[in-house]
Amino acid sequence: MSGETTSSTISELYTEIVAEALFVANEQSIMRNLVRNYTIVGGGKSVEVPIYGVVSASAVSEASDLSNTAINPSSVTITASEVGIMTTLTDLARNSASRNVAGDIGRLFGEAIAKKVDTDLSALFTGFSEGQGSAGGELTIDEMFKAVAKLKTANVPAPYYGVFHPKVMYQIKKQLTNTFVGSAGNMPDLGNEALRAGFVGQIAGVQVFESSNISVDGSDDSIGAIFSQDALGMAMMQDLKIESQRDASLRADEIVATAVYGVGELHDSYGVKLTADSAL
């Protein structure tokens, strides 16, 4: 019998899905590149990250012995768990579609996994003890400078990153381009860039990013943050993986995308949360 669809005839289809999904997941995720990344290897589903405290040097007299300083790090354990998504691609849908179904499924899967990673990491912002801003109030540049001052006072290593909801960043852009800054000739370069491209870039030495994956509560408030890379961690046990299983009676293939990772706060003092109104 000829004309049968076997696993070998659709192998190229799944290769396209994997390639597209991996590309989109890497491009769409903002937070993953801003935190400390670890790989879980050698068995187990968790990684223990040592956290070293601050030590101080002191002046000593000539020919005097130095006293011992105890180094006793604490640790944070990040445990991985699975996330996944599945769809069923029927033979009829695959064969009759005018588009590249494989690429479309890969893009959807990649975006879904990337969104889940960003959502999980940005949800950790609420755990920072230090905070600025207030519920119901617009975020101001002044509050951002205060957050940076707190990080520098705590000797937090740079670079610093800021991640906020797009509606919160609208208020910042509005302040940068406000007519109260004076005439166009006196507007700072940052304001001009915000007008031209809608991109803020850096404020107070902070690389600023927008993410719609930051949750907004029922009062239209959201919590962004300014933080150092070592404030948060992500432990990857298995990156995005695509698998398929044939359902002959359904004349279809189940396509499953999964990833296994964990997230956690490493240094509480390395981040400052900023609460602000997220309504326009």
CA atoms within 13 A on the CB side of 5: 15
With a cut of 90, say whether residue 242 has pLDDT above it. no
The pTM assigned to this predicted structure is: 0.81
- Residue with the bigger pLDDT between 60 and 190: it is 60
- State the average pLDDT over residues 51-66: 80
- Residue with the bigger pLDDT between 214 and 188: it is 214
- State the average pLDDT over residues 136-144: 92
- Would you state the pLDDT for residue 184? 47
pLDDT tens for residues 197-237? 445 678 888 999 988 899 999 999 999 999 999 999 999 99
- Would you state the pLDDT for residue 91? 84
Phi/psi for 162 (5° steps) reads -125, 130
Q: How confident is the model at residue 81 (pLDDT cuts 50, 70, 90)?
A: very high
- Would you state the pLDDT for residue 107? 81
- Would you state the pLDDT for residue 226? 97
Contact 272, 225 (CB under 8 A): yes
Q: How far is CA 146 from CA 50, 152, 153, 210, 247, in A?
A: 29, 10, 10, 20, 58
- State the average pLDDT over residues 98-123: 85
Contact 265, 124 (CB under 8 A): yes
Fold of 11-51+72-277: phage-related protein like fold (3.90.1690)
- State the average pLDDT over residues 153-159: 93
- Strand partners of residue 226: 162, 272
- State the average pLDDT over residues 111-125: 93
Q: Which residues contact 135 (CB under 8 A, 6 or more apart)?
A: 219, 221, 275, 277
Question: What ranges make up the beta strands (E) of 60-151?
Answer: 74-79, 81-90, 131-133
φ/ψ region of 157 (left if φ > 0, alpha if ψ in -120 to 50, else beta) reads beta
- Would you state the pLDDT for residue 4? 36
Q: How confident is the model at residue 122 (pLDDT cuts 50, 70, 90)?
A: very high
Domain ranges of the chain: 11-51+72-277
